[in-house]
Structure 1
Amino acid sequence: MELIRGLHNLREKHRGCVATIGNFDSVHLGHVRVLEQVKAKARELGLPTTVIIFEPQPREFFGGESVPSRLTRFGEKVRLLRAQGIDRVLCLAFNAQLQKMTAAEFVENLLLKGLEVKHFVVGDDFRFGCDRAGDYQMLEAVGKQYGFSVVNTDTFTIAGERVSSTRVRKVLEQNDFDLAERLLGRRYRIAGRVMHGQKLGRQLGVPTANIRMHRFIAPLRGVYAVTMYREEQMLGQGVCNIGMRPTVNGTQPVLEVHLLDFDEDLYGQLLSVEFETFLRKEQKFDGLEQLRKQIFNDIEVAQTYFAQPK
């Protein structure tokens, strides 16, 4: 799969495709349904598939208190799209310039000149251009004028409700990992590289692998029983804390995992953490000794959980 960063990197070879557009945060089963439509039409027309995404996501650009947590980081999203068999991902930088682009300019610069789209698949709530002025009816009219077809996908539901990133986020915030799996088609994971931390876990007798969070705002907070993977190889099971580490006056969110019966240098490696069950909320303790006792208690609870037949 080819990753294209920005309109300015589009070339002649990228013109003529079946495309779709959106945030694709989590690449849930609703997204998969859209991608299946794209791939089917691409096979029919003998054209490559192109998925258009944004970085940052539009609501992250506008900021404010309403910015939702993010389900997948950019790199993980790209890997998930690659796994779906997509030929190209075009990532547009969502900035002030793109924000000001009118719907007509968006169609001309991206769909007509940039990609020469032959078939365009959009979600059931897709809006585009400055002030979200563009909609499906506009795309349909432009398509008839310039010779490309447009289809509006049907709402995809599970358990009577629409599958959306918002719903997945809400389910994860409620720590319902079984329902999240039904919506995603897989267990929920957070991926990232292992970074050097303060080595506090090692001092307490529970060494941890710290996953770099950077600007990633996860939908989870607390302590969990998890399974850790390197690519698709299971490294082990353990206990994960996602939070601010209030006992040591942390200022940035950290994801740290203690693997049970594991002793290997993981620094710099790209790993993913799969969430099995919620253990407890993050809390502030009166000193490191109290924290250490709670961590060992968490480990015992996790060991009991993993020992149960699934």
Structure 2
Amino acid sequence: MLALLQTEARQRGLPSCVLTFEPHPRDYFAAVTKKPDLAPARIGTLRDKLSELAACGVAQTIVLPFDARLASQSPEEFIQNVLIDGLGARYVLVGDDFRFGAKRAGDYAMLDAAGDAHGFDVARMNSYEVHGLRVSSSAVREALAEGRMADAHTLLGRPYTISGHVVHGRKLGRALGASAPGKDDGFRTLNLRFKHWKPAASGIFAVLVHGLSEEPLPGVANLGVRPSLDANDVNAGRVLLETHCLEWPSHLGAEGAYGKIVRVELLHKLHDELRYTSLEALTAGIAKDGRDARAFFASTHAETHRQTTRDRI
């Protein structure tokens, strides 16, 4: 869809532009009706969305605040206020299930008729399938919720990633691992904390961390709310991506990662979040997750080596 948008933009001599909403409309209505279960699991943060669109060559991304005013806007008002007066749209590309305006009353036919009346072209992108699966946000959410990271990769066309600033935590990981054999640094972690975000994926994952060294660093990560810690935890029930690099970059020292923006690829789900009954059990669980992540990367490296050998033959 973005490739088609870019082609049309080049042919028309216009900048490509993507229009999106924040928060997600369903997030807004979940908050208004006080029904948090209605909020959708989010595939990515706004930062990740903007980064991916820029990487795909989109010249402009417009983020409209989805609020009471926008939610009550009729389809006709949306076309006039946003597309015509706001953007000066000359070409509008939408998906085959696109709906817009209050109560989702607007559809493709209405948009197409408005284009004829106001002098802008309208096109609709048909569904796209990969291995018999219709590519959609729902299909991606389902794959992530079930821990099918390879399927999510296929649907997204890239590994599933989350990025953010590294923030301070309780530094509990260092204390937990300090008593383990050979763990002089403990289980030092990179903490990415998110406010008002319900991720589509959760659990323990083998990951690659970008942004700390020239090469991505293998690690193991917990994405969730840390159920083993008490209610006074600094995380306070918010979603946290807590990543332990299997080999910590020596040039960073003990405090060198704080404030940096890192990108974490979730490659393989090891298991769901677990509630441990003691710090000893938690320490043992973290150590096992590290071993399992190392085993995953070792098997991946071996498979890559076998594939390379076959290609040479």
Structure 2 counterparts to residues 102-113 of structure 1, below 5 A: 102-113=74-85
Structure 2 counterparts to residues 37-76 of structure 1, below 5 A: 37-63=4-30, 64=35, 65-76=37-48
Q: Which residue of 2 aligns with 1:254?
A: 240
Count of residue correspondences: 277
Aligned to 1:117, what secondary structure does the other structure show? Answer: coil
Please identify, of 160-169 and 231-240, the stretch whose mean Cα deviation from structure 2 is larger.
231-240
Higher strand share: 1
Deviation at 1:236, TM superposition (A): 1.1
Give the residue type in structure 1 aligned to 2:201.
Answer: L
Structure 1 residue 202 corresponds to structure 2 residue 174: yes
CA RMSD after TM alignment: 1.5
Deviation at 1:239, TM superposition (A): 1.0
Q: Deviations over 1:210-231 (max 9, x none)?
A: 1122222111221111111118
Give the residue type in structure 1 aligned to 2:270.
Answer: L
Structure 1 residue 92 corresponds to structure 2 residue 67: no
Unaligned runs of 5+ in 1: 1-33
Q: Which residue of 2 aligns with 1:279?
A: 270
Q: Which residue of 1 aligns with 2:183?
A: none
Give the residue type in structure 2 aligned to 1:230.
Answer: G
Q: Which residue of 2 aligns with 1:217?
A: 198
- TM-score, structure 2 as length reference: 0.85
Q: 1:154 to 1:231 in 2, by over 3 A?
A: farther
Q: Which residue of 2 aligns with 1:299?
A: 290
Deviation at 1:249, TM superposition (A): 2.2
Separation of aligned partners in 1, 2:187 and 2:164: 20
Structure 1 residue 115 corresponds to structure 2 residue 82: no
Deviation at 1:233, TM superposition (A): 4.2
Residues 194 and 268, structure 1, Cα contact 8 Å, conserved in 2: yes
Q: Which residue of 1 aligns with 2:309?
A: none
Separation of aligned partners in 2, 1:35 and 1:293: 46
Deviation at 1:59, TM superposition (A): 0.8
Separation of aligned partners in 2, 1:36 and 1:304: 38
Residues 231 and 272, structure 1, Cα contact 8 Å, conserved in 2: no
Separation of aligned partners in 1, 2:8 and 2:247: 49
Q: Deviations over 1:226-262 (max 9, x none)?
A: 1111189434111101122222125222210110120
Q: 1:232 to 1:86 in 2, by over 3 A?
A: farther
Give the residue type in structure 2 aligned to 1:36.
Answer: A
Aligned to 1:272, what secondary structure does the other structure show? Answer: strand
Give the residue type in structure 2 aligned to 1:260.
Answer: L
Separation of aligned partners in 1, 2:155 and 2:6: 21
Q: Which residue of 2 aligns with 1:182?
A: 154
Separation of aligned partners in 2, 1:38 and 1:270: 30
Give the residue type in structure 2 aligned to 1:139.
Answer: L
2:2 to 32, 35, 53: 35
Q: 1:51 to 1:58 in 2, by over 3 A?
A: same
Give the residue type in structure 2 aligned to 1:148.
Answer: F
Unaligned runs of 5+ in 2: 177-185, 232-236, 304-313
Separation of aligned partners in 1, 2:161 and 2:19: 23
Aligned to 2:218, what secondary structure does the other structure show? Answer: strand
Percent of residue pairs identical = 38
Deviation at 1:92, TM superposition (A): 0.5
Give the residue type in structure 2 aligned to 1:45.
Answer: R
Q: Deviations over 1:133-180 (max 9, x none)?
A: 111111111111111111111111112221001101101111111111
Q: 1:231 to 1:260 in 2, by over 3 A?
A: closer
Residues 208 and 257, structure 1, Cα contact 8 Å, conserved in 2: yes
Residues 193 and 238, structure 2, Cα contact 8 Å, conserved in 1: no
